[in-house]
Amino acid sequence: MPFSERDFRLEILKSLVEAGSERFKENIRINSLLEDKAQKTAGLAGVFLAAALAFVKLDTLSAWPFNRLRILIPLAIAIVLLVCCIGFCLTVMWVRPIPGPPTFEALDELRSNLWSVTSGLGAYEEGYWGDRSQLWQNVVNEQSSLIDSKAKRLLKGQATLAAAMLVVAIMLLALVGPIISSHLHGVYK
C-alpha cells in the first residue's frame, strides 16, 4: 500500500531523527579514536624526546670526535619538533565539552507544545518530528566541527613527529657516516 504524502513526509522525518541518533553515536566513537591516537602519538614523541635529551650531556658530546654543531643543531630541531608534536596532541586530548544528545528540556518543550492540543494532533505530528530532527542535526553539526578540528591538530602532531624522526635519522646518518668511512678507509689501506 503506497504512502500518503503526509505519511511519507513523517517517515522521512523519523528517518532523520534515527540517522541523527546513529551519527551521534558514530561521532562519539570517532572522537574517542582521535583522542586515543593523540595519546599514543604524544607517548611516542615523549619516548623520542627522552632519547634526544639523553644526548644533551657534556660527557656524551665531548666523547664524539667531530664538530658538536653537527649534532646539536639537528638535535635541537628534533627536540623542538617533538615538543610541538606533544603540544598538538595535548590540544586534541584537551577536555572540552562534547555536544550531547538533545536535552531532556528541549524534548520536554516539544512535548509541552503538543500537550495543549486536544484535537487535530495529526497536523502537529510533522512539526514535532521536524523539530526533533533539527535538534539532532544541530548536535551532530557541533560534534562534526569539534571532530574536524581535533583531526587537523592530530595530523599536525603526527606530521611534526614524522619530521622529528626524519631529522633524527639524518642526524644518525651524519654521525655514522664518518665512522663507517673511517673504518672502510682503514680496511682498504
pLDDT digits (tens, 9 = 90+) for 9-38: 778 878 888 888 899 899 999 999 999 999
pLDDT digits (tens, 9 = 90+) for 70-89: 777 888 899 999 999 999 99
Residue whose entry in the numeric block shows the C-alpha cell 627522552? 50
What are the residue ranges spanned by the domains of the chain?
5-187
Whole-model pTM over 0.85: no
pLDDT for position 88: 95
3-class secondary-structure state, position 65: coil
Q: Which of the listed ranges 5-19, 29-43, 101-115, 160-174 does the model predict with the highest average pLDDT?
A: 29-43
With pLDDT > 70 as the criterion, what percentage of the chain qualifies? 78
Within 13 A of 37's CA, how many CA atoms are on the CB side?
18
Within 13 A of 106's CA, how many CA atoms are on the CB side?
13
Helix axes 121-187, 5-55, angle to 10 degrees: 30
Find all residues with CB under 8 Å of 52, minimum gap 6, and list them. 75, 78, 79, 82, 168
